[in-house]
Structure 1
Amino acid sequence: MNTFTQKTLLGVMLAGTTALPALADDISWIYCGDSIDPVHEKYIADWEAANEGWTVTPEVVGWAQCQDKATTLAAAGSPAAMAYVGSRTLKEFALSELIVPVPMTEEEQGLYYPHIVDTVTFEGTQWGVPIAFSTKAFYWNKDIFEAAGLDPNTPPATWEEEIAFAKQITENTDFAGYGLSAKTFDNTMHQFLHWVYTNNGQIIDADDNIVMDSPEVLAALQAYQDIVPYSVEGATAYEQNEMRAIFLDGQVGMLQASVGAAMRLADTDINWGVANLPLGPSADGPGTLLITDSLAIFAGSGVEEKAIEFAKFITSPDVQLEYEMSPTAGLTPLRPSARVDQLVEESPFWGPYIEGIAYGGPEPLFTDYKGFQNVMIDMVQSVVTGDAEPAEALSEAAAEIEEYK
């Protein structure tokens, strides 16, 4: 085991933690959230009925503690059979030999949208089964556009237009032009990566080379600097959901957000629109960051093979789509289907969330993901606050994340 990685994982162990009950034919599942989704409850029962003698025992753990709970048990040598984890952690778990591979056949891989499988792949092997997927789209307040003298039915198509529109809103109304999130929080990095992937940029390539110090990524960071004067004041105080609340309150003209924003906007009086994320000068087409959460199968439970079987069942196309369409899920579908096509036709706001996938990029996999994330947040914040210029901040960050790959 890599010594640095081992220390990283052991560092999150909590004194006095105990493992889930170990039964020979039981698959223990650390399940993130406040409660089990009814879709999963239904299909757990179906699977148990078809697999006599086997049970699946979910342990519901809140989002803030869920990942640490899975890591703690695994590092202590008493793992759950399966856990819901952010796919960003799979490389760290794999190098620490805490999880087992979950290889996909070419047929299985071909059922997903492009690049989805990349979010769980390290050194050519899949290490988790995607169970949740998020992309972003662009929202604008049509009434604020009109008040600023902009066409309310024409959102910006490029970064250049986005910055110009934000400036016009700020100068001609009492509203902020854009909702920029830069709090010390994981989605500050995610928000920035959406800009990277709408300009054909990369952070780390398929050969594990850091390629972040590039014209494409520099342009994204420069755009951040350029839009700060026309964004909500004090961007470092807000994470994306807090900024979304400001948009829902009708106080900001433009925002990038997940599909959950559309669900919430339906209950407001805001005159809003949704479109593809604006594109940078090097873009080949509509892009977005592709974020997945996955089911990881932990080594040492004694039921690894059966846990893989169940994980693939509970995320199989029909079951997964039913879960994604749950009113409370707010997820982008992982796979194309006739039902997804129908969904886009019935609710056009879904279109941008799907269209951005083809040119999107996966969340980068790092051995020490939190170390990488912190460097990225520091870089963004230094530019947003004016403490550093984009080129300098980018070069320093690119050098610093080398130790975390």
Structure 2
Amino acid sequence: MNLRTVLLAGAAITGLSQAAAAQETLHFINCGSDDAAEAAVQAEHVAAWQAENPGFEVNMEYVPWGQCQEKAITLASAGAPAAMAYLGSRALPQLAEAGLIRPVDLSEEEAASYEPSVLSTVQFDGNTWGVPRAFSTRGLFYNKDLFAEAGLDMPDGPQTWDDMMTASKAITEKTGARGLGIAAASFDNTMHQFLSWFYANGGEVIDADGNVVFDSPEAVETFQFYADMVPYVQDGPIAYERGKLEPLFADGQIAMMQQSFGFRARTGDVNYGVTWIPTGPSGEGHSTLLISDSLAVFEGSGVEDAAMSLAKFLTATERQAEFDDIGGWTPVRDTETTRALPEKDPNWTYFLGSVADGGPEPQVVDYTAMQDVMNEAIQGVLLDEMTPEEAAAEVQDELEDLID
């Protein structure tokens, strides 16, 4: 029995059946472009769901990232929500707090198919608010030729912050390049990059009880790492977001930068290597920032059950694995496809092996305000306007206010 039949059979009055029949269109907002490789795969999977649920027609609308989340939120706030949206998981706390989205009920089997760290990217206030759809981790890309020119003996790349400092100093002094590219513009990837270093140093922003625990030796050490690297990063780091660093790496102007697995296609002719995010003095193991996009089901569309069915269908293990593989995403689940990736490209080892110990984007309702607080502290340290201790304390105070 398909979903449409179940809904009609469960209707208590004729009016409900008529309403269900009139609500056959399922509006699905997608952040991104329909030209992306994974879009074609998703279209095939949506068509398969429609074949099993012929009473519904899925209207997929692609909206550029800059306007997508705003459109989904605006429609929902106006009482005309899309049935479902693919968006950044950072938006989930705001939507949940406003009562605009439906919590996701995962079975024990479904929940166990994800690393807890992956689920943490879509959880807030004791509930799961989205189904993980796209996922990325970070590694360190480094220019092997610049390392050789600087006389560095690091065949596997830098593994610690001390290695980073040694390599950055040698490259800056002995080649025409700078050691490290740091994003410090007022963009989300400035905070993202910092959090990868912070998590690699054993840091935590918000603990399991919801308390802000940012102001810590780990935070001070991470800010100090930024301050110490200033002589060896690109000139004027405040002007750079991650996208502007990529051409510098491809042109051999910086020797190292953080990026996700997909950056491999944008490195130009650089003879590059990849390794873990190097471990800080207080860190253990291998960690990274975990960023996810997810499928969120909106309340008030009239087709919530159908939308949840579609979300679960699209993210079923093998279909999700195909979506990840085509899109070049870090897989959200452990599957045969996932386990085979390092055989296809050994660099996958660094992006998969750090998932278990990785940390999420902190889940707060006002994400933009948190991002601004973090970025201002990072910029303050790089411009020598704040000490690492002052920056850590400032972020702590501001985040406590946001949580309250």
TM > 0.5 fold call = yes
Match of 2:377 in 1: 379
Matched-pair contact (CA < 8 Å) for 1:112–1:335: yes
Equivalent AA in structure 2 for residue 29 of structure 1: F
Pairwise CA distance, 1:221: 1.1
- SS of the aligned residue for 1:255 comes to strand
The count of residues paired between Structure 1 and Structure 2 equals 380
The letter for the 1-side match of 2:31 is: C
Match of 1:357 among 343, 355, 367: 355
Gaps of 5+ in 1: 1-21
Q: Give the conservation status (yes or no) of the 8 Å contact 1:148–1:168.
A: yes
Structure 1 counterpart of 2:297 = 297
Select the residue among 334, 338, 341 that pairs with 1:340.
Answer: 338
- State the AA in 1 paired with 2:143: N
Answering whether residue 294 of structure 2 is matched by residue 287 of structure 1, we say no
Please say if residues 143 and 152 of structure 1, whose CA atoms lie closer than 8 Å, have aligned partners that are also in contact.
no
| d(CA) in 2 for partners of 1:172, 1:362 | 37
The offset of 1:154, in angstroms, is: 3.4
Kindly provide the CA deviation profile for residues 185-209 of structure 1, in whole angstroms up to 9, marking residues without a partner as x: 0110000000111011111112111
Distance (Å, rounded) in 1 between the aligned partners of 2:106 and 2:273: 38
- Equivalent in the alignment of 1:17: none
Larger Rg computed on CA atoms? 2
Aligned in 2, Cα 1:152/1:213: closer, same or farther, shift over 3 Å? closer
In structure 2, the CA distance between the partners of 1:72 and 1:23, relative to structure 1 (3 Å rule), is farther
Q: Give the superposition deviation at 1:170.
A: 0.5
Cα 1:381–1:130, aligned 2, differ >3 Å: closer, same or farther? same
Displacement, 1:132?
0.7
In the other structure, the counterpart of 1:59 is 61
Q: Which residue of 1 aligns with 2:227?
A: 225
CA distance in 2, matches of 1:163, 1:181: 17
Among 150, 153, 156, the residue aligned to 1:151 = 153
User: Structure 1 residue 404: deviation in Å?
Assistant: 1.7
Give the C-alpha shift of residue 373 in structure 1.
0.8
What amino acid is aligned across from residue 301 of structure 2 in structure 1?
Answer: S
Residue number in structure 1 paired with 2:48: 46
Amino acid at match of 1:302: G
**Which secondary structure state, in structure 1, belongs to the residue aligned with residue 179 of structure 2?**
strand
Shift of 1:385: 1.3
| Counterpart in the other structure of 2:33 | 34
**Aligned equivalents of 2:89 and 2:333: distance in 1?**
17
Q: How does 1:271-282 map to 2 (within 5 A)?
A: 271-282=271-282
1:35 CA displacement: 1.0
Deviations 1:227-252, CA, capped at 9 Å, x for gaps: 11101111111111211221112211
Q: Is the 8 A contact 1:193 1:289 kept in 2?
A: yes
2:13 matched residue in structure 1: none
Instruction: Give the Cα–Cα distance (whole angstroms) in 1 for the partners of residues 106 and 218 of structure 2.
Output: 32
> Does structure 2 retain, via aligned residues, the 8 Å contact 1:142–1:152?
no
Query: SS where residue 117 of structure 2 aligns?
Result: coil
Q: How far is 1:152 from its partner?
A: 5.5
Q: Quick check: which one's helix share is greater?
A: 2
Listed one character per residue, the Cα deviations across residues 321-353 of structure 1 (whole Å, up to 9, x for unaligned) are: 111111xx2311111112122111120111100
Alpha-carbon offset, residue 23 of structure 1:
5.1
CA distance in 1, matches of 2:49, 2:384: 55
Deviations 1:266-314 (A, max 9, x none): xx32111001110011212100001001111111101111111100111
Query: Counterpart of 1:346 in structure 2: which amino acid?
Result: K
Conserved? CA contact 1:89–1:366, under 8 Å:
no
State the alpha-carbon separation in 2 of the partners of residues 394 and 283 from structure 1: 17
Pair 1:318 & 2:314 matched? no
* 1:216 corresponds to 2:218: yes
Q: Deviations over 1:139-184 (max 9, x none)?
A: 1101000111112623111011101210111011110100111011
Counterpart residue number, 1:7: none
Identity across matched positions, percent? 46
1:238 aligns with 2:237: no
With the length of structure 1 as denominator, give the TM-score of the two structures. 0.91
RMSD over equivalenced CA pairs, Å: 1.3
| Greater Cα shift, 373-382 or 120-129 | 120-129
Q: Deviations over 1:119-150 (max 9, x none)?
A: 11123211001111010001110100011111
Structure 1: distance between partners of 2:230 and 2:282: 21
Deviations 1:210-264 (CA, angstroms, capped at 9, x unpaired):
1000111111111111111101111111111211221112211111111121122
Note the 1:115-154 alignment, pairs <5 A.
Answer: 115-151=117-153, 153-154=155-156
The answer to whether the 8 A contact 2:30-2:87 is kept is no
Which residue is equivalent to 1:390?
388
